[in-house]
């Protein structure tokens, strides 16, 4: 089983039927040298769907089940073992290499409890389980001082929110985490340091110079596409771009301009939404 490589999250090309998203992933597989496909929020991933020859990584509550016409998302909770069996069944019948989960609220468990849950879940699924660093205060792994001694998935854009968009601080934070913790994977996307908007990744993004160093021996997942592949971006981002233009009479926005969130802080992508505050940045956030 590989523990490194580059993958594409369906979130990056989401808001499409799975069939269309898979066609894009197949098209990008060779040019980008993709090693795996990450199932994530933004595309309905039914347990009975055919994922072709892709090695898979599961991200949080990515699976759905039931009648294909009215399937329901299978909630996955690291702290609730009743939610685990459907994921184990899927792992048993597919080529799944790892799973990543959102760090839970600190009010729900202790650091030791979280560590124990990760190890038990990993044993149960027979997979490496990574805990994603989160942008919201109140969760474990939402700052340098709330990181837990478990395999971590470092979402660089979440870290960018920790530092309120300070690029130097974001670099330092990621370097710190990698130097002091077990980082098993990375999520890549772009934002303005205020909300987890999953914008297209510009060529001069703040982590461009360091990513090749950080990714050695780790799984790296593109949670948004580079600007060079904007034509495959999430469909809702394309729509919202034009909606915003018409609503506010803006001139043509640049292709890597931030995708907006609405006033409720709700993601246009249908990503898992949270209503937490960044106490200093005073922004709403969306998390995927």
Instruction: Give the N- to C-terminal CA distance of the chain in Å, as an integer.
Output: 25
State the residues that interact with other proteins by CB under 8 A: 6, 31-33, 105-111, 136-138, 142-147, 162-164, 166-169, 171-173, 175-176, 180, 201, 203, 208-213, 215, 220, 222, 226, 228-229, 274-281
Q: Are 266 and 240 in contact (CB under 8 A)?
A: no
Tally DSSP H helices, then E strands, for the chain: 7, 11
Q: Are 137 and 278 in contact (CB under 8 A)?
A: yes
Nearer to other proteins, 127 or 133 (CB): 133
Nearer to other proteins, 123 or 175 (CB): 175
Check the CA dihedral 81-64-75-235 and report its sign: positive
CB of 177 to other proteins, least distance (A): 8
Lookup: tokens for 125: 């699924």
CB of 113 to other proteins, least distance (A): 9
CB of 85 to other proteins, least distance (A): 24
CB of 17 to other proteins, least distance (A): 25
Nearest alpha carbon to residue 130 among 71, 182, 208: 182
Residue with tokens 């805990």: 131
CB of 213 to other proteins, least distance (A): 6
| Residue 143 exposed, middle or buried by CB count within 10 Å (0-12, 13-18, 19+) | middle
Nearer to other proteins, 127 or 159 (CB): 159
Nearer to other proteins, 142 or 258 (CB): 142
Distance of alpha carbon 132 from alpha carbon 139, whole angstroms: 10
Nearer to other proteins, 49 or 223 (CB): 223
């Amino acid at each position: 089983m590989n523990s490194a490589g580059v993958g594409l999250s369906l979130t990056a090309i989401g808001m499409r039927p799975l069939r269309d998203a898979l066609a894009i992933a197949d098209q990008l597989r060779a040019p980008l040298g993709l090693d795996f496909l990450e199932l994530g929020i933004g595309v309905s991933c039914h347990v009975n769907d055919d994922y072709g020859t892709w090695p898979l990584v599961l991200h949080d509550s990515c699976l759905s089940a039931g009648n294909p016409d009215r399937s329901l998302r299978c909630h996955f909770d690291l702290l609730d073992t009743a939610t685990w069996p459907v994921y184990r069944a899927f792992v048993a019948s597919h080529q799944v290499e790892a799973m990543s989960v959102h760090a839970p609220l600190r009010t729900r468990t202790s650091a030791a409890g979280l560590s124990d849950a990760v190890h038990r879940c990993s044993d149960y699924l027979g997979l490496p389980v990574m805990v994603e660093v989160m942008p919201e205060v109140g969760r474990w792994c939402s700052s340098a001082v709330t990181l837990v001694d478990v395999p971590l998935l470092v979402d660089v854009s979440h870290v960018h929110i920790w530092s309120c968009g300070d690029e130097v601080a974001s670099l330092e934070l990621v370097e710190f985490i990698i130097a002091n913790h077990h980082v098993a994977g990375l999520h890549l996307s772009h934002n303005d340091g205020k909300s987890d908007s999953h914008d297209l990744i510009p060529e001069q993004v703040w982590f461009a110079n360091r990513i090749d160093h950080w990714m050695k021996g780790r799984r790296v997942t593109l949670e948004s596409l580079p600007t060079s592949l904007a034509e495959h971006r999430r469909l809702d981002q394309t729509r919202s771009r034009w909606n915003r233009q018409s609503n506010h009479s803006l001139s043509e926005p640049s292709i890597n301009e931030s995708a907006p969130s609405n006033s409720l802080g709700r993601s246009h992508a249908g990503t898992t939404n949270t209503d937490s505050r960044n106490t200093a940045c005073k922004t709403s956030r969306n998390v995927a």
